[in-house]
Amino acid sequence: MGILSRFKDVMRSNLSAMLERSQDPAATVDAYLRQLSLDIGQVKAETTAVQAEEDRAKRALDECAEEVRKLQRYAEKAVGSGDESAALKFLERKAKQAERLQGLQTAYDQAAENSSKMKQMLGKLVSDLQKLEARQATLKSKLAEAEALSRAQASGGSETALRELEAKAEQALNEALALAELRAGSQEDDLDAIFAELEKNNAAGMKSDEAPGSGPESELAALKAKINKQDS
């Protein structure tokens, strides 16, 4: 499904490492900024569809769960009135709905996971965009400083003035990067922890779905025993 297929790559991307390997950081920043803008637009567009699917799956799950509860009540009333045949029919229908409920639970869990991934990707992409914009601004500042240095050298400027301008440019770069890191700190989650939490949630959902259920005949016997106990 679209950008969701790139979830791991997006979340594991490392801007600092990418720029360190680049022989032309300015060109790399410009290219990646364009890609980030496209990715953010795609995430926002697909998030609407993913959220709608999660909502639809939740409604279907809730409706089926209510049907199971309703059939259970009907079966109890039928046993209480002595109509075992009707009670058994209700329990058979309940067993079918309970089986359907498991599939709906799995579908909802997947939709909810996809929605969570979209939110995580959007946060990561926005964080990267902020960092790159800060880096681009400082690179442009360094370029302007370099041009000023060249003019100073051409007009006989001193070597001391050259070093001072270089130091100022480097300080501006470091300050901008530090500010970008602080602003994006809340977005830098540990990826291994994110994936472990998603797998943990999926495992918990599957375990609850896999719990064995009793057959209609067994439930009928249990209901009769329960009602007989109440009557005595």
The single residue listed with the structure tokens 């297929």 is 5
pLDDT (tens, 9 = 90+) of the chain, 232 residues, equals: 578 888 888 887 777 777 777 778 778 878 888 888 888 988 988 888 999 999 999 999 999 999 999 999 999 999 999 999 999 999 999 999 999 999 999 999 999 999 999 999 988 898 888 888 887 777 777 767 767 777 766 665 555 555 665 666 666 666 666 666 665 554 445 555 655 665 665 555 544 444 445 578 888 888 888 877 776 6
Residue 80 C-beta-side C-alpha neighbours within 13 Å: 8
- For the chain, the maximum distance between any two Cα atoms, rounded to a whole number of angstroms, is 110
The pLDDT assigned to 166 comes to 61
| Segment holding 14, helix H or strand E | none
The pLDDT assigned to 227 comes to 79
Domain range list for the chain: 2-129+197-231
Rounded distance between C-alpha atoms, residue 44 and residue 122, angstroms: 8
The pLDDT assigned to 175 comes to 63
Residue 51 C-beta-side C-alpha neighbours within 13 Å: 8
